[in-house]
Amino acid sequence: MADIFVSYGRSADAQAHQVAEALRGAGYAVWRDDELPPHRAYSDVIEERIRSAKAVIVLWSAESVRSQWVRAEADMAREAGTLIQVTLDGALPPMPFNQIQCADLSGWGGDTGNAAWRKVEGSVALLVGGGGGEAGTAAETKGKPARRVAICVLPFINLSGDPEQEYFSDGITDDIITDLSKVSALSIVARNTAFTFKGQTLDVGQVARQLNVTHVLEGSIRKSGDRVRINAQLIDGEAGDHVWADRYDRDLTDIFAIQDEISKAIVSALQLKLLPKEKKAIEHRGTSNVDAYNLYLMARQHWISGNDGDVRRDEIVVRICRQATEIDPDYAKAWALIALGQTELHFRHSRDEPALASAERALELDPSLAEALCVQARYLAEEDGKFDEADQLIQVALRLDPESWEVNKEAARLLGQRGKFREAIPFFEKAASLVEADYHSTGMLSTCYGAIGDAAGLKSAAERTLERTQRALAQDPAIGAALGYGAVALAALGEAERSKEWTKRALLMDPDNVTMRWNLACALSAHLGDKDGAIELLSGVVDRLPPTMIGYLRLDTDFDPLRDDPRFEALAVAAEARLVSESSAAAE
């Protein structure tokens, strides 16, 4: 694998070539996307190359600042602690990258004696350890720099003996990752990467080498009634020694104190300095009530892994979070999750829900809650048709929390609804990487890659969707959404008979799930060549399609094989007429 990955916008190809050649001349192994193999999915190769690189040079320009691909690549490098930033034309890095130093190569013509270039090469030498030329020799002469402390927090093991408590152990792991990421002296592996190791028997040294981290934190949680026991240990990735370990056997009401103690103990054990503002950020939980916190974790797990498209999922999420806000009326995260659930009830199930009021309450309590902005953006787009304003709001949300699953999904949704499939791909990819159980995003990626003619990308997305839906169905065989997306994946992978079997099972388990029936129709239309079956499935739900799905009838490329069929056209016209009629009646 190459030492250095170069990320850039398409218009900067010439400058990217200059940078790569200058680094190769200094003895470094460099990779950029002009070397993409034709047989593999673009996103898979890019992620693999970035993760293996010791340094990632991002070339910012007026174009690349707007590129979601470049931002996604820069974000991966920032998380890994390998990011080096360069501006080619004076364009400043977007948030949150504007907080990291950026070298200015405006007007640079390849002169390796240039002061700005020497600054770039110096950063490369620090991260890579020197090249094969004079720069490498100089770096080696100075001695290898002290490596920044980097930690992977492995998912804490649920020892409660009850799989239903998995949400609690995952939630605690998430919070510890979030807490440690607030410490400026630490580099923390992203949650999505850490959770790929969940359920595996692991060799800590191998994990540390694979992720290029100095330390690994692992632990277990046993929750029983009003008691909780947490074991945690911090391990030196190279030596394999315990740097710190402790056991907490307390009342459940002490859970916040335990989380604070773990984070501070790790900082102390590593002899790092915790700044006052970082200490304050770690201690901020959003609620001081353990019962409200527990309810929120339960609701969010159901939100993530529940039956997408099933009205009961959204009702349960809203109901549980309402209990949380009754206990603590100032719990902003619970209000934001209520708003998200109500938004689904409104747009997918035609319910009159006060989602905007709930979102406003969340933002009143915490103006930085990006998920609440997603609700406002969706109403602007789908209720008012103000897509430009919705886009601007989503950009704000992405700056506030680029690691939010909900924000990345909403960004992708807004683009996909307008047929901007290529632009939607980075956001669906990001969402899928953030939550390992998310088969909706990988399912949508199949559509996006298919729409742009990327057969390798479609195959990769379908394989991931099938793997994730199989895991979901192992937990609950009746999840209609998983059956629907799985059937599409099987069809895309050429497994027609299995796809038909899953389709029959889906219709038996969850016949009223509109989203699921839509996906099954996609499988029959796009991959199995069964026009009659696809139209029959759509006929059964066309009178219940929400407005956004009616508009998407004309855009979903999976239905392209049906476009010349008068039956499909009649369905679309009837649905659009119903929408106009309902809009007129509502305006009277």
Q: What pLDDT score was predicted for residue 274?
A: 67
Helix or strand run (H / E) with residue 410: helix 405-416
Tally of domains within the chain: 5
Considering only residues 78 and 414, tell me which one the structure prediction assigns the higher pLDDT. 414
440 domain residue, yes or no: no
Q: Please spell the DSSP secondary structure of 163-226, one letter per residue.
A: GGGHHHHHHHHHHHHHHHHT-TT-EE--HHHHGGGTT----HHHHHHHHT-SEEEEEEEEEETT
pLDDT digits (tens, 9 = 90+) for 183-214: 877 888 877 778 888 888 888 888 888 888 88
Beta carbons of 221 and 157 less than 8 angstroms apart: yes
Beta carbons of 206 and 230 less than 8 angstroms apart: no
Q: What pLDDT score was predicted for residue 585?
A: 67
Q: What pLDDT score was predicted for residue 136?
A: 40
- In this predicted structure, the answer to whether residue 146 has a pLDDT above a threshold of 70 is no
Distance CA 495, CA 248 (A): 50
442 domain residue, yes or no: no
- In this predicted structure, the answer to whether residue 409 has a pLDDT above a threshold of 90 is yes
- In this predicted structure, the answer to whether residue 40 has a pLDDT above a threshold of 60 is no
Residues 357 and 399 in one domain: no
pLDDT digits (tens, 9 = 90+) for 229-274: 999 999 998 888 888 999 999 998 888 889 889 988 898 888 887 6
Q: Look at strands 150-153 and 187-188 and give their pairing.
A: parallel
Helices assigned H by DSSP within 493-546: 496-509, 514-522, 531-539
CATH of the domain at 53: 3.40.50.10140
Joined together, the tokens standing for residue 574 give 């009837």
SS3 state at 55: strand
Residues 478 and 543 in one domain: yes
Beta carbons of 26 and 133 less than 8 angstroms apart: yes
Q: Structural domain of residue 88, as residue ranges? A: 4-142
Beta carbons of 562 and 523 less than 8 angstroms apart: no
Q: Give me the mean pLDDT over the 378-397 stretch.
A: 92
454 domain residue, yes or no: yes
Beta carbons of 220 and 247 less than 8 angstroms apart: no
Joined together, the tokens standing for residue 171 give 């939630």
Helix or strand run (H / E) with residue 35: none
- In this predicted structure, the answer to whether residue 444 has a pLDDT above a threshold of 70 is yes
The amino acid at residue 202 is: L
309 domain residue, yes or no: yes
Residues 476 and 566 in one domain: yes
pLDDT digits (tens, 9 = 90+) for 361-385: 999 999 989 999 999 999 999 888 8
Instruction: Indicate the pLDDT class of residue 35, thresholds 50, 70 and 90.
Output: low
- In the chain, the percentage of residues whose pLDDT exceeds 90 is 37
445 domain residue, yes or no: no
Q: Given 435, 461, 492, which residue is the final one in a domain? A: 435
Residues 134 and 167 in one domain: no
443 domain residue, yes or no: no
Residues 14 and 131 in one domain: yes
- In this predicted structure, the answer to whether residue 129 has a pLDDT above a threshold of 70 is no
Q: Given 142, 176, 208, which residue is the final one in a domain? A: 142
Considering only residues 284 and 470, tell me which one the structure prediction assigns the higher pLDDT. 470
Peptide bond into 96 cis (omega under 30): yes
Q: What pLDDT score was predicted for residue 2?
A: 65
DSSP 155: P
Q: What pLDDT score was predicted for residue 139?
A: 39
Instruction: Indicate the pLDDT class of residue 142, thresholds 50, 70 and 90.
Output: very low
Residues 353 and 379 in one domain: no
Q: Given 240, 256, 285, which residue is the final one in a domain? A: 285
Q: Give me the mean pLDDT over the 535-541 stretch.
A: 88
389 domain residue, yes or no: yes
Whether the predicted model's global pTM rises above the 0.75 cut: no
Instruction: Indicate the pLDDT class of residue 411, thresholds 50, 70 and 90.
Output: very high
CATH of the domain at 158: 3.40.50.10610
* Burial degree of 383 (CB within 10 A; 0-12, 13-18, 19+): middle
Q: What pLDDT score was predicted for residue 355?
A: 95
Residues 64 and 124 in one domain: yes
The region of weakest confidence among 61-75, 225-239, 505-519, 530-544 is 61-75
CATH of the domain at 399: 1.25.40.10
Residues 6 or more apart whose CB falls under 8 angstroms from that of 258 comprise 228, 230, 248, 250
Residues 172 and 80 in one domain: no
Residues 454 and 588 in one domain: yes
Residues 270 and 298 in one domain: no
The region of weakest confidence among 65-74, 307-316, 463-472 is 65-74
Q: Give me the mean pLDDT over the 157-167 stretch.
A: 83
SS3 state at 286: coil
Residues 65 and 135 in one domain: yes
Distance CA 361, CA 336 (A): 8
233 domain residue, yes or no: yes
Instruction: Indicate the pLDDT class of residue 349, thresholds 50, 70 and 90.
Output: confident
Residues 279 and 310 in one domain: no
Considering only residues 571 and 196, tell me which one the structure prediction assigns the higher pLDDT. 571
SS3 state at 230: strand
Phi-psi region of 541 (alpha: psi -120 to 50; beta: other; left: phi over 0): alpha
Instruction: Indicate the pLDDT class of residue 140, thresholds 50, 70 and 90.
Output: very low
In sign, the C-alpha dihedral spanning 398, 400, 402, 408 is negative
Which of 66, 87, 65 has its CA nearest to residue 15? 87
